[in-house]
Structure 1
Amino acid sequence: MFCDLTDEREESFTMEVLDKKIIFSSPSFKKTYTFFEHGFNVQWEKVEGLPEKVIIPLATYSKDIEIQEDLIRVKQAYGNITIEIEFDGFGDVEMEDIYTITSSEGGLEKTKQGVMFTLYTEHGGVLSSRLRIIKE
């Protein structure tokens, strides 16, 4: 099954559903989800010619995320609060206390479900991460 979609950057892409696989393709990336009995795997391929620096939007009410060598930093998501994300290498990690930003009261709220950030390397590897709240 094919489906034409548009993401938040208004870049059109296709979604192809196969047996135990979903493939998203666009002019800049190809992302394949392979499903198993107890989870799934994500493979990401970058199309040649994309810029080295990657900007991942955290949410519509935050500023851009800055990716540094060993962490991602969100600049002023809410006033004096900075969010740092530390990478724990490749693959899954055990989550510590996880927070998400609520837009209703403009603060931070601890959630049981948590928020998981994933950064894809230029070679298609996956860096999972923990999220830490820092008040400046």
Structure 2
Amino acid sequence: MFEFNNGDYVKQNYYTKFDWDITNSLTFDTQFDFSLYTDNNFDSQTIPIWNLGLDYAFLKGKRGNLKLQVFDILDKDLGVVRTSSDSYFEETIKSNLGTYAMLSFTYSIKPPTGKENRRGGGERRGPRRG
């Protein structure tokens, strides 16, 4: 939890994330972020943000990666900016993009590390010959 207290203004933020390796190649992740804005001069605002993703690794050495991500599933993301001084109070609320999805593919051109690399991998055994 993050709490910022400036006079009568308080912002609280709660965050949780869950990752699950369904198989050796398939991963599911979800995250939830909840912000609460409280101020005596403005209406209180609550902003829940929920995102999730599904990740699939494939091709030889799992060099290919296909990922589907969905952002702001609840369509509640708002840009809240509050400013105040001795003579005025200002609140700006902006509507953001809303719910959207992104599908991405990445390919690693770097050879796999460890036992799967082309040179046989692992540590050298026996005395070094020169």
Both proteins in one fold, TM over 0.5: no
Larger radius of gyration: 2
Please state which band the TM-score falls in when normalised by the shorter chain. 0.3 to 0.5
- Using the size of structure 1 for normalisation, the TM-score is 0.32
Higher helix share: 2
* TM-score, reference length from structure 2: 0.33
Structure with greater strand share of residues: 2
